[in-house]
Amino acid sequence: MAKKKKEPIWIARDLSRCSGCRKCEIACSLFHEKRIWPEASMVRVFMLVPGLEFPHLCTQCEDYPCVKACPFNALSVSEETGAVLVNEEKCTACAKCIMACPGGIPHMHPKEKRIVICDLCNGDPQCVRVCREGEWNVLKKVRRRDRAYKLYARKPEQITRDLATKFYGEKGEEFV
C-alpha cells in the first residue's frame, strides 16, 4: 500500500491571545533537546513590553530566503511539512540565514555551532499541542494553503509595536 503523502502545514498565530506562559518554549526544548532549555528552543517567547508576550517562530516564507542565503546548502525544505530543515553537519553557523530572514527568526544554538529553525516537529508541532491543551489556542496547526506567511515574518520589535497598538490604541506606540 502506498504511503499517503502529507500535506504541508503551517502554524497560524493569534498573538493577542498569548498569556506568556512559555509552555511552547518548554515543549519545543523538551522535544528537541530532551530537557527544558528555552535558549535552544525553536520557539522563542519575546516580552519587549511588560504584559505583551508572544511566541516567535519560523513562518516558512513562500520564497524561503534563509534557504536561498545559505552558502553551504545546509538548509532545505521538507516536502512533507514545508518546514526548513538544518543539516547539522553542513551548517557552519555563518548567520547568513538570520540576515536573510525578514523576521530574524533563525538563531544560534547556545552550545553547538549550528542554526536553530522550527522544523514543525515532523508534522506534529509540540508548541501547538501544548497551546491547544492549555486552551489558549494562540498557535494552531493548519494546512499550508493560501496563507500570507510573510506577514508573520517580522522582527519582534515590529510585532510588539502592533500588539501594543492593538491593546492600548495610539498610546501603545509610546511603550515600544
Query: What is the pLDDT, as a whole number, of residue 157?
Result: 94
pTM over 0.75: yes
Query: What is the pLDDT, as a whole number, of residue 171?
Result: 82
Q: Domains of the chain, with CATH numbers?
A: 9-175 (3.30.70.20)
Residue/partner pairs of 23-28 with CB below 8 Å, 24 or more apart: 23/130, 23/131, 23/134, 24/55, 24/126, 24/127, 24/130, 24/131, 24/138, 24/139, 25/55, 25/127, 26/130, 27/126, 27/127, 27/129, 27/130, 28/118, 28/121, 28/126, 28/127
Query: What is the pLDDT, as a whole number, of residue 4?
Result: 63
CB 82 within 8 A of CB 8: yes
Query: What is the pLDDT, as a whole number, of residue 129?
Result: 97
Q: pLDDT grade, residue 64 (50/70/90)?
A: very high
- CA gap 113, 105 in Å, rounded: 17
pLDDT of residue 3 exceeding 70, the answer is no
pLDDT tens for residues 81-94? 999 999 999 999 99
Percentage with pLDDT > 70 across the chain: 94
Taking residues 108-115, what's their average pLDDT?
96
Taking residues 27-55, what's their average pLDDT?
96
- CA gap 130, 138 in Å, rounded: 10
Residues 6+ apart with CB under 8 A from 1: none
